[in-house]
Amino acid sequence: MPPMLPSPVSLVVAGGGPAGFLAAITAAETAPGSSVLVLEATPEPLHKVLISGGGRCNVTHACWEARALVGHYPRGGRALLGPFSGFAPAEAVAWFAERGLELVQEDDGRLFPRTNRSSSVVDCLRRAAGRAGVVLRTGASLQSAEALPQGGFRLRLRGGEELFSERLVLATGSHPSGHRLAGSLGHALVQPVPSLFTLRLQGGLLAGLAGVTQDPVELELQPDGLTSRFRQRGPLLITHWGVSGPAVLRLTAFAARDLRQSGYRGTLRIDWSGGRREPELQECFARLRREQARRQLATARPWPELSRRLWVALLEAQGVDPQRRWADLGRQPQQALIRALRDTGLEVVGKGPFGEEFVTAGGVPLGEVNTATMESRLTPGLYLVGELLDVDGITGGFNFQHCWTSGWLAGRAIGA
Ligand SMILES: Cc1cc2nc3c(=O)[nH]c(=O)nc-3n(C[C@H](O)[C@H](O)[C@H](O)COP(=O)(O)OP(=O)(O)OC[C@H]3O[C@@H](n4cnc5c(N)ncnc54)[C@H](O)[C@@H]3O)c2cc1C
């Protein structure tokens, strides 16, 4: 028997994802005794948390300064300064610790549960919801919501059941039903487009180099037909279809809208040297010609971190025999190699598969909510949180962080 709820329910949260759970738990903890109901359309709440981070769940990122943090959100940016001054990664770490889940930081700043299992995060959220008295209904999809003139909402579920609630949180992620619900309550929609994907490139130089990683590289992307340019620096992975890796995912997150506009076509310029200046490379080549004169080009790379397979491919692409000795490298091929190391131009011919995280850019414009409380500026009593909003972060735990932050702010405002 599902628990009896009063009518109207104090709060209905549509969407049992991370943002919806944080909103529901925080509201119930802030106002003990209030009735909080989470409606989840599928049989499995928190499904994305379970499959996130390759089954490990990258909960947040060790980025403690709000000003630095907002730089990781291609959509949202500075408008998130306010929300993050209320609930940032440090608060998320403490929130989970207080509820028995310890997060551990990796070298690159990503934070995972100590168990290394996303199921621990799911268990923690479900336990906290249960303890706070939140009622969860699965297989319950919110179909329509009507704001009543006297305040509160009339809600209709799939199957026809009707519910009344004083407040409503929409936490439906990127699902079209949430976009429809928000639209019916007066909100606009920034067209959703994919973010955080890899790039498909025209074969050429990279054919046969799948599996090679180079760190760091500097990337510059210019989508076809547009004047915009996007730059990133970091690790790159060559794949069977093109390029992937953190630098590429960051690049496509920031370029998501422009790439969509250009039909996912453009030019990618790669600096394999990671930003070494030309005089530095001239000096490096001169030293190798002196000190490694008798060694073959293929066996003595300009610097140890340069992938051997990549170096040989660059030599071959410039028509330089990899068996040639350093002493025999002429001026012209040296110039060509330095140019190729600093600036290889490749044609982007499409969008590759997604990385480990899949997120959508687009949703309800952030300007339509009060970012101190996440309450709608258009419909009082309505709150919008998580990926439903036009906010998305780069890979590394930033997307969940926005869910914790927006969910917590809404829950606290409602509970208070
Ligand atoms: C494979 C994968 C891995 C990821 N890994 C990471 C990671 O490691 N770190 C990170 O920060 N981010 C990660 N992300 C992104 C992250 O999962 C999302 O940003 C986050 O889940 C968004 O949370 P949300 O609560 O807004 O929406 P969701 O998690 O999408 O939850 C929304 C819920 O609402 C339900 N729903 C929709 N419509 C209705 C309705 N009408 N009525 C009732 N219920 C409804 C849905 O069934 C869903 O359960 C990953 C994403 C994917 C797909």
DSSP letters along 71-124, please?
TT-TBTGGGGHHHHHHS-HHHHHHHHHHTT--EEE-TTSEEEETT--HHHHHHH
Nearest CA among 384, 400, 382, 380 for reference residue 392: 400
> Which of 356, 389, 405 finishes a domain?
356
DSSP 371: T
Write down the pLDDT at residue 357: 66
Write down the pLDDT at residue 356: 65
**Residue 399 Cα: closest atom of ligand 1:** 11
Give the residue, by CA position, lying nearest to ligand 1 atom 50: 357
Q: Is residue 259 part of a domain?
A: yes
399 lines ligand 1 (CB under 6 A): yes
357, 360, 369, best to mutate for ligand 1 pocket (most atoms within 8 Å of CB):
357
Q: Distances from the Cα of 145 to the Cαs of 165, 183, 388, in angstroms? A: 10, 10, 16
Q: Is residue 2 part of a domain?
A: no
Ligand 1 centroid – CA 284 distance (Å) = 49
| Cα–Cα distance, 15 to 135 (Å, whole number) | 13
Mean pLDDT of the chain, nearest integer: 96
Give the residue, by CA position, lying nearest to ligand 1 atom 19: 399
Ligand 1 centroid – CA 388 distance (Å) = 9
Give the H or E element holding residue 222.
strand 213-223
Nearest CA among 166, 129, 174 for reference residue 145: 166
Residues 20 and 90 in one domain: yes
Residues 16 and 47 in one domain: yes
22 lines ligand 1 (CB under 6 A): no
DSSP result, 113-168: ETT--HHHHHHHHHHHHHHHT-EEEES--EEEEEE-TTSSEEEEETTS-EEEEEEE
Nearest CA among 409, 411, 407, 402 for reference residue 360: 402
Residues 337 and 205 in one domain: yes
Residues 342 and 373 in one domain: no
Residues 172 and 202 in one domain: no
Q: What is the residue range of 294's domain?
A: 196-356
Q: Is residue 394 part of a domain?
A: yes
14 lines ligand 1 (CB under 6 A): yes
48 lines ligand 1 (CB under 6 A): yes
175, 249, 402, best to mutate for ligand 1 pocket (most atoms within 8 Å of CB):
175
> Which of 356, 373, 398 finishes a domain?
356
Residues 172 and 321 in one domain: no
Ligand 1 centroid – CA 324 distance (Å) = 54
pLDDT for 172-213, tens place per residue?
Answer: 999 999 999 999 999 999 999 999 999 999 978 888 999 999
Residues 161 and 271 in one domain: no
Helix locations, 219-306, DSSP H: 246-254, 256-261, 278-291
> Which of 317, 333, 356 finishes a domain?
356
Residues 206 and 282 in one domain: yes
Q: Is residue 393 part of a domain?
A: yes
Q: Tell me which residues of the chain have a pLDDT lower than 50.
A: none
Q: Is residue 1 part of a domain?
A: no
**Token output for 229:** 């340019």
Residues 21 and 138 in one domain: yes
Q: Is residue 22 part of a domain?
A: yes
Give the H or E element holding residue 219.
strand 213-223
DSSP 309: H
Question: What's the CA angle centered on 399, arms 137 and 228, to 5 degrees?
Answer: 135
Write down the pLDDT at residue 410: 98
Q: Is residue 84 part of a domain?
A: yes
DSSP result, 223-243: ETT----EEEEEEEEE-SSEE
Residues 16 and 164 in one domain: yes
407 lines ligand 1 (CB under 6 A): no
399, 405, 409, best to mutate for ligand 1 pocket (most atoms within 8 Å of CB):
399
Write down the pLDDT at residue 375: 98
Q: Is residue 333 part of a domain?
A: yes
Ligand 1 centroid – CA 53 distance (Å) = 12
Domain count, the chain: 2
Residues 217 and 178 in one domain: no
Give the residue, by CA position, lying nearest to ligand 1 atom 17: 48
Write down the pLDDT at residue 354: 73
Residue found by looking up tokens 């909080």 in the block: 36
Write down the pLDDT at residue 134: 98
Determine contact, residues 279/357, Cβ cutoff 8 Å: no
Residues 57 and 178 in one domain: yes
Q: What is the CATH number of the domain that holds 171?
A: 3.50.50.60
Nearest CA among 400, 414, 415, 413 for reference residue 372: 413
Q: Is the full-model pTM beyond 0.75?
A: yes
Ligand 1 centroid – CA 16 distance (Å) = 9
